[in-house]
Amino acid sequence: MQATNSQSDDDESTSNTTAGEGESDTEASAMAKPHDAYETVDPETRKEVLEEHNHRCQSCGRRGPGNDGVARLQVHHIDRDPDRMDEHALENLSLYCVPCHRWLHQRSTPDEAPVTLTESESQNLLSKDIEILRYLAAHGPARTGDIAAGLRVDASVSTVRQRLWKLMGLDKTSEDRDEQLVDKNIETGEWGFPEQIEHSARGHIPDNTQLLLQRVEDEQVRDALERGCKRQHVQEVFGITRRTTFNKVKRAQAFDFPLDVVSNQSGRPSKGTVTKHESNASESESDHQQRLGDVDNRDRDDRGPTEPMGASEATTATQSVAGDDHRSEDVSTESHQHLQDAIKALQAVDEELSL
């Protein structure tokens, strides 16, 4: 098996696999047979590799005992059958800690994906994305927690959810893709390929007030950034972190919330129309911030009930569809006010961009 010497896409590792080919560490008890896939290097070569890389993992940077660290380091063969050098030549060897070495040999490649991916998609997707696609092909539709538990690489439920947003919105970011790759069932909260999903969550207007406001804000953040608004200003307007802006864009691309429909009902002009306020065009940015102070300054991504999580997804989604006997077709007066405040925030962004 050949593997390239490159840094990992994320903090991924596996904990239930044996060491990969080319492994060599101080705990090794025996040398493998010649030409065996697990053949190790001799102690002198190992010492050279450790010194060459300063006793540091070439993926995550963790240090070994020779550099005031505790990480177990292993020698890795970049190519098991090199054309122009010896297999054990220093140029063909690298150094990894145990988790990174295992991940390197267990990661999925675009060629293993159960669907056809374009070259640009293959370059932009992570190995865990391929793992998710493989799981959905074999076990979908499935809930986020079940997908995370079924992957060969370690990934938290929140990480898997974010990657699912990325995959679901791939048709919004890839010029070569016209149809959705992944979808979510609005009734069960399960994820799968479009043919596995009966009731798509894309374009759905939630009954849940908080989830509705989240969808509106996601779309506003995406819209503002695509219009050229500075990310720092978007962070300040919506009271969110830089990382959250990226997650909101992924989620907005995935669910493609029909903001124009809701906004027009609430008095906001259709997309592309810039609303002018009576304030002076030279109003300072600090004044903009003050005028938008009604927008909730807390990061709604870190509190619920917004986007369902883990094992409770199916229950939450079912309750959302079943509805509440006390919930009318229109959102409450309070939620309507929140919606108006959020719309005003985007109008302010529109005004600033038009100056």
The domain segmentation of the chain, as residue ranges, is 1-107, 110-196, 209-354
CATH topology of domain 110-196: Arc Repressor Mutant, subunit A (1.10.10)
pLDDT of residue 111: 77
pLDDT of residue 197: 97
Q: What share of the chain is helix, strand, coil (3-state, %, to 5)?
A: 45, 5, 50
Q: What is the mean pLDDT of residues 69-89?
A: 88
Q: Which of 74-83, 240-249, 278-287 has the lowest mean pLDDT?
A: 278-287
pLDDT of residue 118: 85
pLDDT of residue 126: 87
**pLDDT at position 289 over 70:** no
- Give the pLDDT band (50/70/90) at residue 40: confident
Q: Which of 22-26, 197-201, 323-327 has the lowest mean pLDDT?
A: 22-26
Q: What is the mean pLDDT of residues 222-232?
A: 95
pLDDT of residue 218: 97
Helix (H, G, I), strand (E, B) or coil at 183: strand
pLDDT tens per residue across span 163-181? 999 999 999 998 889 899 9
Q: What is the mean pLDDT of residues 244-260?
A: 96
pLDDT of residue 247: 96
